[in-house]
Chain A
Amino acid sequence: MSSVLDVVLSSAFLAAVLRIATPYLLAAFGGLVAERAGISNIALDGQMLSAACTGALVAGYSGSVALGAVSGVAMATLLGLLLAALRLELGADAIIAGIGLNLLASGGTAYAVYSLLDDKGGTSGLRSGSLPTVTLPGIENIPVAGDVLSGQNMITWLAFLAAPFVAWLFYRTRFGFHLRAVGEMPDAAESVGIAVRRVQYTGLALSGALAGLAGVFLSMGYVSFFVRDMTAGRGFIALAAVFLGGLRPWGVFLAALGFGAAEALAVQLGTLDVPPQLVSTIPYVMTLVALALYAWRRKRRGGAVPTAASL
């Protein structure tokens, strides 16, 4: 047991938590924005995947990492808008359309990579590079914080800044107020003159962009190439973090960070004598229990907490 504690308290482990939590945080905030706008974005996973693929391909062919990252995020944003259009213009069920978009991303990225590079696995043959890391002058010399914080990818910093950003957006801006109103009760929002559709389109675009950042991090930060289906269901886990966090920015932040920590722990425990597969189920079991408790509490209180679009 003491060896487990040693692992958990090491600065390398904490640095790994930040790194592993990055895609969960960004994607979860993406999911949160969409959910509060009244359209469940179950396509987070597909948006991440297509951003990761587009980013690596564009960076590889153009030689510009920045251009790759921007194209990746743009692609995910487009998919967010497409989901909104399917829902709002064609009356599609958001969940089923999301499943469709996930499939499209999975098949489309694999097809594109195979057509362009003649490689089934991914873009490891293409030199696409990765986004720069951030070193804060001075912080490296502080004992633990220096090891944990210095040398983290710039997207990791963005991921942690996303929490205050989303909280500010939701509760301090006009747009955030409109977004929450639209998600809560679109008819009422419309009746007081809020442009419901425009708010929902903007929300879904932002949602896609955040998921896109998460995807770009995977292929241009975590590693420096795209691997087929490399999101490995992270988008779905992020979606769970949205609900586990009670649809509130800081709650979602803690939930996503918890998932990251649990996964980092599972990786570390793999070196010890504990089956890593069983350790990695812990966050999901916790989510399941939390989901039940949350629903039970809401049932007793009778709807005092924000409701999700898909409920």
Chain B
Amino acid sequence: MTTTPMTAIETEDRRQYRTTRRRDFAVDLSMALATILAALVIGFLVMLATGNDPIRAYEAMLTGPLDRSFRVGRWLEDATTLTLLGLSVAIPFRARQISLGAESQVYAGALAAATVSIFLPLPPVVAVVVPMAAAAAAGAGMGLVPGTMKARLGANEIVATLMLNAIVVRVYDYLVNGPLKEPGSNAVHSENIRPDSALTPLSDWFGIPLGRANIGLGVMLLTAVALWLLITRTPLGYRIRMTGANPDFAAYGGIRVPRVIEWSFVIGGAVAGLAGAHLVQGVYGRLEPGLAGSLAFEGIVVALLARNNPLVVVVAGLFYSYLRAGGDIMEQQTDVGTEIVVVIQAVIVLLVTAQALPNLLKRRIARRQVGVR
């Protein structure tokens, strides 16, 4: 902040800028809510058409996760990983880079975190931080490969990230089944990490059973705020936004677009790496086959739903995990398969991407208003 007092016009400008910001945020949020509502209605109709009782199913889905404290824990633990993965794709998406590489990055992160926290004896606290840093570095490295290929050579980032996913998932599978498998164990998983490296469970703090939810939740929230500040308040964030809005114009304005693209991939990769660290150090305590499941792709949905705004990603991630947790409970209590959640999620993606839809509605409303007159 400068020490010179602001003129009246400057203060006015600033206020106007803030109102616009706030309005944008509100618009993002209400659009997301409308989309969700529409998708839930479609899910309702699908359940009705397949002969199920949608009201009972939704009741179980929407109230179930808050029923017991360990269910809340299950929800928060899932939301932590999912939101981190959503944040990880939101950054390249902001630069208009369609990175589908979160899967390779989360597995690379998990491998790095596990290797450090199993084999490297470290003093407390450091034992938590170093594996996470290693995971972030591994994820960033995985992001750098397609990022550089795209930025310097113009190679299609979708294919590059998909190929990298296929490679890393197979290498991970090999390591968990081979070199990193716990010796003498029949089940396929690695050794447990050292207790010092574990992320503290939230149950220890609150004194109620919260399952495997851990302080990774705090890490996730801090990451979201940091990324929001990065995007909205730093020169790099400005460059990322400009590159995403119009790369030619950005380059014309003196922004080194290739470097910005690389950075967006590296930052996204580091965040996905953290998600891998959370899975290892907070959730499973070791490497398991297929550790991340379909979370990497669902992270994309979360980012889209939030229109790549890091703070909204948190809300979307919490909401989406809530649906996931609720879907499992719904399946236990009613006969409706939890897969309906995936259908609802797909409808959300399709609605979000149909950009002409809101305009179409607006135009229709406008036309009707004209007609009334």
A101 touches B153 (CB 8 A): no
Count of A-B residue pairs with CB < 8 Å: 150
Query: Which of B46, B339, B360 has a CB less than 8 Å from the CB of A110?
Result: B339
Asked whether any CB of chain B lies closer than 8 Å to the CB of A111, the reply is yes
What is the CB-to-nearest-CB distance from A94 to chain B, in angstroms, rounded to a whole number?
9
Tell me the count of chain A residues lying within 8 A, CB to CB, of chain B: 50
List B contacts of A139 (CB < 8 A).
none
B156 within 8 A of A: yes
Q: Is the CB of A99 within 8 A of B162?
A: no
Query: Known: A92-B350, A99-B300, A278-B171. Is A237-B342 also a contact (CB below 8 A)?
Result: no
Question: Is A111 within 8 A of B173, CB to CB?
Answer: no
* A288/B337 in contact, CB under 8 A: no
Contact B149 A277 (CB under 8 A): no
Query: How far apart are A53's CB and chain B's nearest CB, in angstroms?
Result: 12
User: Is A243 an interface residue when CB atoms closer than 8 A count as contact?
Assistant: yes
Say yes or no: is A306 at the interface (Cβ < 8 Å to chain B): no
Q: Which label, helix, strand, loop or mixed, suits the secondary structure of the B interface?
A: helix
Contact with B along A246-287 (1 / 0, CB 8 A): 000000000000000000000000000001011011001101
Interchain CA distance A106-B341 in the complex, whole Å:
11
Chain A, 51-95, contact with B by CB distance < 8 Å: what is the 0/1 string?
Answer: 000000000000000000000000000000000001001111101
Q: Is the CB of B170 within 8 A of A278?
A: yes
Contact of B342 with A92 in the complex, beta carbons under 8 Å? no
B162 and A107 contacting across the interface, CB-CB below 8 Å: no
Contact A287 B353 (CB under 8 A): no
**Which residues in B have their C-beta under 8 angstroms from that of A284?**
163-164, 166-167, 170
A95 near B155: Cβ-Cβ < 8 Å: no
Looking at chain A's contact residues, the main secondary structure is helix
The listed residue with most B CB atoms (<10 A of its CB), out of A89, A107, A275, is: A107
A89 x B356 contact (CB < 8 A): yes
Is B295 positioned at the interface, with any CB of A under 8 Å from its CB? no
Which of chain B's residues has its CB closest to A240's CB?
B159
Q: B146-161 interface mask toward A, CB cutoff 8 Å, 1 = contact, 0 = none?
A: 0001000111101110
Q: What string of 1s and 0s marks CB contacts (under 8 Å) between B335-363 and chain A?
A: 00101111101110110111111001000
Is B177 among interface residues, defined by CB-CB distance under 8 A? Answer: yes
Please tell me if B174 contacts chain A, counting CB pairs below 8 Å.
yes
Q: Which of chain A's residues 270-311 have a Cβ closer than 8 Å to chain B? A: 275, 277-278, 280-281, 284-285, 287-288, 291-292, 294-296, 298-299, 308, 310-311
Let me know if A103 is at the binding interface, CB within 8 A.
yes
Report B22 CB to chain A, min CB distance, Å: 27
| CA A96 to CA B160, docked complex, whole Å | 17
* B155, A100: Cβ atoms closer than 8 Å: no
| Contact across chains for B149 and A291 when beta carbons are under 8 A apart | yes
A114 within 8 A of B: yes
Distance in Å from the Cβ of B153 to the closest Cβ of chain A?
4
B98 within 8 A of A: yes
Q: Are B162 and A236 in contact (CB under 8 A)?
A: yes
Known A92-B353, A111-B337: A310·B156 in contact at CB below 8 Å = yes
Q: With the chains together, A311 CA to B96 CA distance in Å?
A: 12
Once the chains are docked, how many angstroms separate the CA of A104 from the CA of B301? 12
**How far, in whole Å, are A102 and B166 apart by their CA atoms in the complex?**
17
A110 to B346, CA, bound (A): 13
A111 touches B171 (CB 8 A): no
- Return chain B residues, CB-CB under 8 Å to A86: 350, 353-354
B154 touches A298 (CB 8 A): yes
Query: Which residue of chain B has the shortest Cβ distance to A233 in the bound complex?
Result: B166
User: Taking A96-B304, A103-B346, A291-B159 as contacts, is the C-beta distance between A111 and B339 under 8 angstroms?
Assistant: yes
Further contacts, 7 of them, CB under 8 A, given A284-B163, A288-B164: A91-B356, A96-B352, A100-B347, A107-B346, A110-B339, A285-B163, A292-B149
- Identify the B interface with A (CB < 8 A): 46, 50-52, 98, 145, 149, 153-156, 158-160, 162-164, 166-167, 170-171, 173-174, 177-178, 297, 300-301, 304, 337, 339-343, 345-347, 349-350, 352-357, 360
| Nearest 4 interchain pairs by C-beta | A107-B342, A100-B349, A104-B346, A295-B155
26 A-B residue pairs with Cβ-Cβ distance under 8 Å, sorted by A, are A90-B360, A92-B353, A92-B356, A95-B158, A96-B304, A97-B353, A99-B301, A100-B349, A103-B345, A103-B346, A106-B342, A111-B46, A111-B340, A236-B162, A240-B163, A243-B156, A277-B171, A277-B174, A284-B163, A284-B167, A292-B149, A295-B155, A296-B153, A310-B156, A310-B158, A311-B154
